[in-house]
A and B are shown apart, each in its own frame.
Chain A
Amino acid sequence: MRSTIQGTMCLAVPGKIIALEKGNAEVDFSGVKRSVSMDLVPSAKKGDYVLVHAGFAIQLLDSEDARETLKLFQEIYDRSR
């Protein structure tokens, strides 16, 4: 299946904070780097993953939760084989 991440208005993409200064972060989106405002996620730290929409981080992403979701998908697959 193709990746489905498209659109504009409510589109938000995950990225990793690689530098942080005065409420602005440099965020790495799989190789593409961009300056992102941390106004809405003031507690974010270097190394955190954030969800970015139109130049603003809107939420912290939980890496463990992502792993758990993927694991669940795989367990369903393994069980039904």
Chain B
Amino acid sequence: MTAPAKLENAEKYRFNSPLWRDKSLASHAFAEMRALTAQVSERTGKTVNIMEVCGTHTMAIASSGMRKLFPPGLKMLSGPGCPVCVTSQGDIDRILSLAALPEVTLATFGDMLKVKGSGGFDLNHLREKGADILVVYSPLDALAFARSNPLRQVVFAGVGFETTAPLIAASVLRARKEKIKNFSVIALFKLVPPALKLLLSDPQNNISGFLLPGHVSAIIGVEPYRFVARGHKVPCVITGFEPLDILAGINMLLRQLARGRAEVEDEYYRAVKKSGNPTAIKLMAKVFSPADASWRAIGRVKKSGLVLSPEFSGFDAVRRFKIAYREAPEPRGCLCGAILMGRSIPPDCKLFAKACNPSSAVGPCMVSSEGACAAWFKYGG
């Protein structure tokens, strides 16, 4: 066993330090994890089920290879934290309808391109037929395109959680300030705390603890999760995305479980402050209002999403282009819904790695780079 790199050497690379993924440090975290898992199992007599709510955590866990090293009494469940995956089939259809309009340039993050609508085709298919689809890194790229192409109607596909919503709010404010009239947003944003509430309202749920999303929490802070620990007595740890962050976050959860505690702890305090990012929260509240939202395979959930508030309805693509919402069934046999709720894992699905694979995906959990099925397919269980 080689000794870990010394902290002093990591000084100037603090945030990108190799220490965040140091193997010797990790091996000790795993030893601690085995001991703690044994303690919890002894105390409760049950398998420990920890849900990583965020899709970026799902991918980080899979790509680091750490799943193979977890003790047998510890199971990680993927949660509803992959934005593309939780977008309902009806909302995917609305995005596709917008993209098909001849005057529209649909601006989107790349994850959306291969998500099939209920008609069996995706944005890539529409593109081949001549639809104008602009893959962007930032909503500001979409705004810049609108600025320099005043004859095109640029619609931004607003899919994401509290991490992404504030940037779209800031972009809408910029558009208003600069009087950019050919920019609009289809706001399909989802909120994490209502999703947790929904998971916990299922009496069948077997979640022992939540590994909470670091970047959503960088915006919303610690308070919005208190009800999980206080009301439902389920421990929570806000966790960063480096391998050692994740191992530390899991061990913090196990320590709470071993002592019978339920609190919201913050492993990722270098980025997550108690009150989050007040500027971002303010902008989000100015431009958007909470609304009922449709979740894939779950249905309408009260006040679980964000839509443009009345003051900004001029930027609402749904109003501008009068796009109706129609419920649409999930692809046949697809288990995405159950996987998002932590009730199934990808290999439980009959389509997994057979009819459904990254080059021909049936459901969004295989399409998105943050989807649980894509992670299992690429890196194994």
Return chain A residues, CB-CB under 8 Å to B64.
Answer: 1-2, 4
Within 8 A of B (CB), among A22-81: 30, 37, 39-42, 49, 51, 53-56, 58-59, 61-63, 65-67, 69-74, 76-77, 80
Q: How many chain-A residues does the 8 Å CB contact rule pick out?
A: 42
Question: In the complex, are the beta carbons of B167 and A40 less than 8 A apart?
Answer: yes
Q: Nearest chain-B residue to A69 (Cβ)? A: B270
List B contacts of A1 (CB < 8 A): 21, 23, 26, 64-66, 243
**Which chain B residues (327-381) contact chain A, with CB distance < 8 Å?**
368-370
Q: A51–B267 Cα gap in the complex (Å)?
A: 16
A to B contact number (C-beta, < 8 Å): 189
Binds A, one of B79-87, B97-105, B225-233, B312-320: B79-87
Within 8 A of A (CB), among B138-172: 138-141, 159-161, 163-164, 166-167, 170
Chain B contacts of A41 at CB under 8 A?
A: 277, 279
Chain A residues positioned under 8 Å from B55 (CB to CB):
7, 9-10
A12 CB–B CB distance under 8 Å: yes
A72 to B20, CA, bound (A): 11
Contacts of A11 in B (CB 8 A): 56, 215
Contact B66 A10 (CB under 8 A): no
The answer to whether B271 and A51 have CB atoms under 8 Å apart is yes
Known contacts A55-B138, A55-B140; A49 and B111 CB within 8 A of each other: no
Residues of A near B4 (CB, < 8 A) are 74, 77
From the candidates A4, A10, A39, A61, name the one contacting B15 in the complex (CB within 8 A): A61
Interface residues of B in 19-63 (CB under 8 A from A): 19-26, 28-29, 31-32, 54-56, 59-61, 63
Q: Which of B109-159 contact A (CB under 8 A)?
A: 109-111, 137-141, 159
Chain B residues near A2: list those with CB within 8 A: 21, 63-65
A74 touches B370 (CB 8 A): no
| Closest chain B residue to A14, Cβ basis | B15
Residues of A within 8 A of B15 (CB): 14, 49, 61, 63, 66
**Shortest CB distance B369–A (Å):** 5
Within 8 A of A (CB), among B194-244: 213, 215-216, 218-219, 241-244
| Residue contact A51 to B215, C-beta cutoff 8 Å | yes
Q: Is B323 an interface residue (CB 8 A)?
A: no
Per the bound structure, the CA–CA distance linking A73 and B279 in Å amounts to 32
Chain B interface size range: 35 or more
Q: Across the interface, which residues of A come within 8 angstroms of B283, CB to CB? A: 39-40
Contact A62 B270 (CB under 8 A): yes
Q: With the chains together, A49 CA to B368 CA distance in Å?
A: 29
Most B Cβ at <10 Å: residue of A2, A56, A72, A73: A73
**Would you call B10 an interface residue if the criterion is a C-beta within 8 Å of the partner chain's C-beta atoms?**
yes
CB pair A10–B81 under 8 Å, yes or no, is yes
> Is there an interface contact between B218 and A58, defined as CB atoms closer than 8 Å?
yes
Residues of A within 8 A of B215 (CB): 10-12, 51, 53, 58
B7 is contacted by which of A54, A62, A74, A80 (Cβ under 8 Å)? A74
Q: How far is the CB of A54 from chain B (nearest CB, A)?
A: 5
Interface residues of A (CB under 8 A from B): 1-12, 14, 30, 37, 39-42, 49, 51, 53-56, 58-59, 61-63, 65-67, 69-74, 76-77, 80
> Which 9 pairs, one residue from A and one from B, show the smallest C-beta to C-beta distance?
A55-B138, A4-B60, A65-B270, A14-B15, A39-B170, A59-B218, A66-B270, A1-B21, A56-B167
- Residues of chain B touching chain A, judged by Cβ–Cβ distance below 8 Å, are 4, 7, 10-11, 13-17, 19-26, 28-29, 31-32, 54-56, 59-61, 63-66, 81-84, 109-111, 137-141, 159-161, 163-164, 166-167, 170, 173-174, 213, 215-216, 218-219, 241-246, 248, 267, 269-273, 277, 279-280, 283, 368-370
